[in-house]
Amino acid sequence: MRTIGGLTKSTPLKWLPVLSKIVPPKLRREEHALLQEWKKYVNNPFLPIHTDLTALEGVQRLKSRKPPWKTARDLIKDNFNIKNPDNQKLVINPTTKQPGFDLERNTWVTLNRIRTGDGRSGYMMYKWGLRDNETCDCGYESQTINHIITECPIRAFKGTIEDFHLTKKEAVEWMKNLDVKL
């Protein structure tokens, strides 16, 4: 998932399924097992449980339990459920392809690193031991991705972070012309 999204190893795990559009393995296994069981019961009217399932459609006797037919139905309806990554409130539906999925590879990678706030900035390069200091060219003491986008007098983007998420033309052009490789 990191390779697909062009993300670094330090990227928070909750971003990986959202940006790569791959359902986490645990949910894929659950979905497959439940759907297989559900289809077996629903498609075979000769099984005694077939009539019970249609009769129990809205009834749940034990509130503390989650019956498999309800779980299977929910999985069909929701496809998969991923929590919204918490450092950006920009992802409305994590189950869909995020805007910019069809951009050129290097632009897509830069966009994902901006979204996650985790990439090859001066701060991270210093943290990884690849630079002697974390200062920015502008003299600011810590070159983070947020600094590059919003505060840096040399490189700052004139729009908002939402422009990156929506992949507006100005944001894409700014990423392509950026003199720092994130």
- For residue range 114-168, list pLDDT tens digits in order: 888 888 899 999 999 999 999 998 988 899 998 999 899 999 999 888 888 888 9
CA nearest neighbour of 5 among 97, 89, 137: 97
- For residue range 136-146, list pLDDT tens digits in order: 989 888 999 98
Distance CA 12, CA 87 (A): 10
Q: Is 21 left (phi over 0), alpha (psi -120 to 50) or beta?
A: left
Query: What does the block give as tokens for 63?
Result: 């509130």
Please tell me the predicted confidence (pLDDT) of residue 81: 42
Length of the chain: 182
Domain segments of the chain as ranges: 16-78, 99-177
